[in-house]
Amino acid sequence: MIPDLKMKLSVIIPCHNEQNNVGFLIQALTKTLNETEYNFELIFVDDGSSDDTVNEIKFNAGIYPNVFYIELSKNFGKDNALKAGISMATGSAVITMDADMQHPPGMIIKMLQFWEEGYDIVYTYRENANPHAKLYQKVTSRLFYKGINMLSDIKLEDGTSDFRLMDERVIKDLKLIDEHELFLRGIIKWAGFKQAGIPYTPSKRHTGEVSYSFAKLVKLAIGSIMAFSARPLYIMTGVGLTVSLMTIFYIPYVLISFAEGYAVNGWASIIATIAFFGGLQLMVLSIIGVYVGKIFMQSKARPNYLIRSTNLVNVNNDLIRV
Ligand code: UDP
Ligand code: MG
């Protein structure tokens, strides 16, 4: 694809408590993108921050004509914040990245090269475990990628990030996806198109704290895996079948014991068996329950996010300031 002066890039940045990173990122992105032949718009999505992030974004939007903001009505989570940005993006390519400088803006140049070569999606994955991450983050991250690769039909590289470039033809389809539990990394892999993956080494967080606690990470990991695959249900069917087969050997033992007259000695084994099957049934039921819950949430068809305020409207694929 030959760069065209009129072509525009949209950069979408979800922010949750990033008040001291916004200005810094705008400077860094402006410097990098001014070296390219593209126009660009920066769309900041405030995901229910409790600090001054939203005012910081609004302040910058007042200074720079290509900075836009979407203020969500509360914290909806990063994927939903990204969806809010994507739904407004008008660029020929859309780049999503974190606000904390962990996704090096310089990498965008490399992404653009792949895009110009004709790739529709250029995603990134961490080359090495994030040297700045805490131990619990490294462990949950590894378990998450192992889990999702084992339990679903997609294969994600270890450390696949939300730092990626997508062509407008991908964005057009992405805008139509309506999933209550949105997991963009998985959806992008599932989507196909011409994809290139490039490794990167995350930088240190510029300022502030990581938004995810251990509990939030575990919840997100289980939610994403179950939202993306029905395989846990099939695995449970397998476990159920295996246990049923095992009883084929157990029943003759019970019958022989009965015939030989010492059946009453089996109290311990009866209790053990009841406890085992009771536990197994509860586990299977709860897994089914989680899926039913997800159907329930999806069937309500609530929007992924609500907007409290924004300075843009998308009119005929052009962002208009309001
Ligand atoms: N973020 C968000 N909503 C959330 C949590 C995080 O928009 O509920 C944003 C955050 O501001 C940052 C990006 O998502 O721009 C990544 O979050 P963070 O740096 O806290 O986590 P990491 O990916 O580094 O573990
Ligand atoms: Mg970060």
- Hey, which bits of 29-120 come out as E strands? 39-46, 67-72, 93-96
Specify whether the CB–CB gap between 140 and 217 falls below 8 A: yes
pLDDT in tens, 147-200: 888 888 788 888 899 999 999 999 999 999 988 888 899 999 999 999 999 998
DSSP letter at 155? -
Please give the distance, rounded to the nearest whole angstrom, from the Cα atom of residue 78 to the centre of ligand 1. Answer: 6
Nearest CA to ligand 1 atom 16: 98
- For position 311, what pLDDT does the model report? 87
> Which residues, at least 6 apart from 237, have a Cβ–Cβ distance to it below 8 Å?
none
How much is the pTM? 0.80
Higher pLDDT, 305 or 131: 305
User: Is the pLDDT confidence value at 317 over 70?
Assistant: no
| pLDDT at res. 215 | 78
Pairing of strands 121-126, 160-167: antiparallel
- Sign, CA torsion 141/46/178/12: negative
CA of 18 to the centre of ligand 1 (A): 9
Q: Residue 47 carries which side chain, given as an amino acid letter?
A: D
Phi and psi, residue 5, nearest 5°: -55, -35
Residue 98's pLDDT is what?
Answer: 95
- Whether 3 has a pLDDT exceeding 70, the answer reads no
SS3 301: coil
Which of 26, 44, 211, when mutated, tests ligand 1's pocket best, judged by the most ligand atoms within 8 Å of its CB? Answer: 211
Query: Largest Cα–Cα distance in the chain?
Result: 92
Sign of the CA dihedral running 62, 68, 74, 75: negative
Instruction: Using DSSP, state whether 38 is helix, strand or coil.
Output: coil
The answer to whether 59 touches 303, Cβ cutoff 8 Å, is no
DSSP output for 208-221: S--S--HHHHHHHH
Q: Is any ligand 1 atom within 6 A of the Cβ of residue 75?
A: yes
What residues does the ion ligand 2 have nearby, CB within 5 Å?
100, 102
Interval 98-118: pLDDT, tens = 999 899 999 999 999 999 999
Compute, in degrees rounded to 10, the torsion defined by CA atoms 304, 39, 69, 122. Answer: 30
pLDDT of 263 over the 70 cut? no
Q: How far apart are CA 66 and CA 13, in angstroms?
A: 14
> Which pLDDT value is given to residue 218?
78
3-class SS of residue 119:
coil
Nearest to 306 by CA among 88, 74, 69: 74
ipTM of the complex: 0.96
DSSP of 6-36: T-EEEEEEEESS-TTTHHHHHHHHHHHHHTS
- Taking the centre of ligand 2 as the mean of its atom positions, its distance from the CA of residue 262, in whole angstroms, is 65
Ligand showing the shortest atom-to-Cα distance for residue 126:
1
- Per DSSP, what are the bridge partners of residue 72? 307
Mutate to test the pocket of ligand 1, among 12, 16, 124 (most ligand atoms within 8 A of CB): 16
User: Measured from the CB, is residue 287 less than 6 Å from ligand 1?
Assistant: no
Give the pLDDT band (50/70/90) at residue 143.
confident
pLDDT, mean of residues 50-67: 93
State the Cα–Cα distance between residues 111 and 69, nearest whole angstrom: 24
Q: Measure the CA–CA gap between 288 and 185, rounded to whole angstroms.
A: 24
Instruction: Please say whether the beta carbons of 126 and 61 come within 8 A.
Output: no
Q: How far apart are CA 195 and CA 200, in angstroms?
A: 16
How far is 43 from 66, CA to CA, in rounded Å?
Answer: 8
